[in-house]
Structure 1
Amino acid sequence: MTPSRPTIYFIRHGETDWNLEGRLQGQKDIPLNDVGRVQAEEAGRKLKALAPHYEDLAYVASPMTRTRETMEILRGTIGLHPESYKLDERLVELTFGSWEGMTWKEVRKAEPSLAVLREQDKWNYAPPGGGESYAMLVARIRPFLDDITRDTVVVAHGGVARAFLAIACGVNSRQAASMDIWQGKILTIEGRSHRWV
């Protein structure tokens, strides 16, 4: 019998101005906006209700500003030291290459043929200018998941959540690539199942 995998409480960073404008952030380091800060507080309150043992969990975040801010607000909201958590480079968002900073509408206008290629196979398509595909992201994320040995709170990005769902829950790649990843909510991954709170 295989041992059960630790529970993951996944939180996507709160809203940024670029989220609001529909811009591809990728690895551009954009801070939270006021709505994003409120969403981080909401996630903290939900975590406290969801995980009564929240003080004993491991806490790990992507090193980007928006994820660190979310983690620190979340921890402060539940009475934990805001900065007592780990950073892991493997959790950074996938990069959209030369498309970062553009909206999808702008991408479709500037590079219509490439935009169509991505729509046809979101999982495997890597944008121009050094962009990453979800398949490439999965290769980066899998070792992180393998390293988790206890129940863990992860604050990262939408693309990272989709990789988690594909690897940990067996969500098929086409479905995972198009799933909504909510801000201010918690994606709980227990064994092969997942739910939003």
Structure 2
Amino acid sequence: MEIHVIRHTPVNFDKNRCYGQLDTPLAEGFIENAKSLSNQLSDCYEQVITSPLSRCVKLADELNLKDSKRDNRLLELDFGDWEGQLWNDINQKALNTWMEDFVNNSPTNGETLNQMYKRIAEFIDSLRSENFDKVLIITHSGVIRCFWAYFLEIPLYNIFKLPISFGEVFKFNLGDNKQYDSVKQLK
């Protein structure tokens, strides 16, 4: 199964604020970004799946992928009480604790990276049982990093070494079993 995964286009939100599952709007110019993206995409996806957040759903709509399905497992990391706060306003002790082990520690009332990875791995495993040739997914950078970790068995502590730009498209090949999985970035 060939899976094309897109990170949503830029958002209209203060970059100094924490956001994961906060439903932030897309930035002006997203229509032009969508047009540029459409040139990189196939026109024969058997299934289109998006995060339920509007920044992904709106992009799917702009790409004329109106029959897309929403899947909560494709949500970005849940930053809990930190959502929408300025990073500088977050309790420094709590922030430091999280940063010391962001894989196993969670933001206050949020989820750990390990919990997020498990839901993404479950999503990918569920796709493996489907009989599709080509699938398109529109989601978030954290989710895409979890895809990379899954496919290449990268330790979660290293996934932030993978730069993922807004509107970037990746191709993952899901084999009959994990041994035959592969990754290719589209340009």
Q: TM-score, normalised by structure 1?
A: 0.80
**Equivalent in 31, 34, 40 of residue 40 of structure 1:** 34
Q: In the superposition, relative to structure 1, how do residues 17 and 27 fare at CA in structure 2: closer, same or farther (>3 Å)?
A: same
Q: Alpha carbon RMSD of aligned pairs, Å? A: 1.9
Match of 2:57 in 1: 68
> Deviation at 1:62?
0.9
User: Which residue identity is paired with 1:55?
Assistant: C
Q: Which runs of 4+ in 1 moved over 4 A?
A: none
Within 5 Å, give how 1:1-197 maps onto structure 2: 6-18=1-13, 20-47=14-41, 51=42, 54-74=43-63, 76=64, 82-107=65-90, 111-128=91-108, 130-148=109-127, 149=130, 150=132, 151-190=134-173, 191-197=181-187
Q: Give the residue type in structure 1 aligned to 2:116.
A: L
Partner of 2:176: none
Kept in 1: contact 2:45–2:136 (CA 8 A): no
How many aligned positions are there?
A: 176
Tell me by how many angstroms 1:9 deviates.
Answer: 0.8
Contact 1:90–1:144 (CA<8 Å) still a contact in 2?
Answer: yes
Secondary structure of 1:34's match?
coil
Unaligned 5+ segments in structure 2 are: 174-180
Cα deviation per residue 1:128-164 (whole Å; 9 max; x = unaligned)?
0x21111001121222111213221100111111111
TM-score of the two chains, using structure 2 as the length reference = 0.84
Q: Percent identity?
A: 26
Task: Report the CA distance shift for 1:99/1:56 in structure 2 as closer, same or farther (over 3 A).
Answer: closer
CA distance in 2, matches of 1:105, 1:134: 21
More helix by share: 1
